[in-house]
Amino acid sequence: MNAPRNVGFVKVSKDLKTILSTGPKESGGFYNFGGKWADVSHEGIQWLTKFESKAYSLSKLKTMKVGTSGKYVLLLFEVWDSSKPHDDDKFRYTAYKVVDKDGKDYGNGHIKALCYEGMRLMRNDDPIQISNSEIILV
């Protein structure tokens, strides 16, 4: 890995034709399955995490609406250290952050580690909200 992995989003209209969020236009690309470079650009990106070192990269993102009106979004994710040589040393912690529907930080905006050290997220399972104050991770 040559750079940290962060989370961002672009808010679009329901018909997917209009970008509603403001943010920079970023360009890059990827190698497709045929091995050829494919250019990609995105506009209106709102970055929700801002890791600058590849010693902190985000993985296994889970999202869900929370709050009494569902106007907030809970982000759950694992933080990994991609600069370490061995796979078993790369997991750092599982964390969360809360933002509103426009991506603005709720509270102080800091990423917080879960209180259960070493708790890992499953690749394909989503959190389930069972009340305004309780969430189950399966």
pLDDT digits (tens, 9 = 90+) for 96-108: 899 988 888 888 8
Q: pLDDT-derived band of residue 74, with 50, 70 and 90 as boundaries?
A: confident
Q: How confident is the model at residue 128 (pLDDT cuts 50, 70, 90)?
A: low
Mean pLDDT across the stretch 104-115?
84
Place of tokens 């890995």: 1
Q: Looking at the domain assignment, is residue 20 inside a domain?
A: yes
Count of domains forming the chain: 1
- Residue 39 placed within a domain: yes
pLDDT in tens, 38-72: 999 989 988 889 888 878 888 889 888 887 777 88
Q: Is the pLDDT of residue 138 over 60?
A: no
The answer to whether residue 33 sits within a structural domain is: yes
Q: Is residue 2 part of a domain?
A: no
Phi, psi of 57 (to 5 degrees): -130, 140
Domain-embedded: residue 103: yes
pTM: 0.75
- Structural domain boundaries, residue 48: 8-136
Q: Which of 30-34, 78-82, 122-126, 132-136 has the lowest mean pLDDT?
A: 132-136
Mean pLDDT of 78-95: 78
SS3 letters across 53-102: CCCCEEEEEEEEEECCCCCEEEEEEEEECCCCCCHHHCEEEEEEEEEECC
pLDDT of residue 132: 63
Question: Per-residue pLDDT tens for 18-45?
Answer: 999 888 888 999 999 999 999 999 899 8
Q: State both tokens at 75.
A: 């982000």
User: Does the residue 3 lie in any domain?
Assistant: no
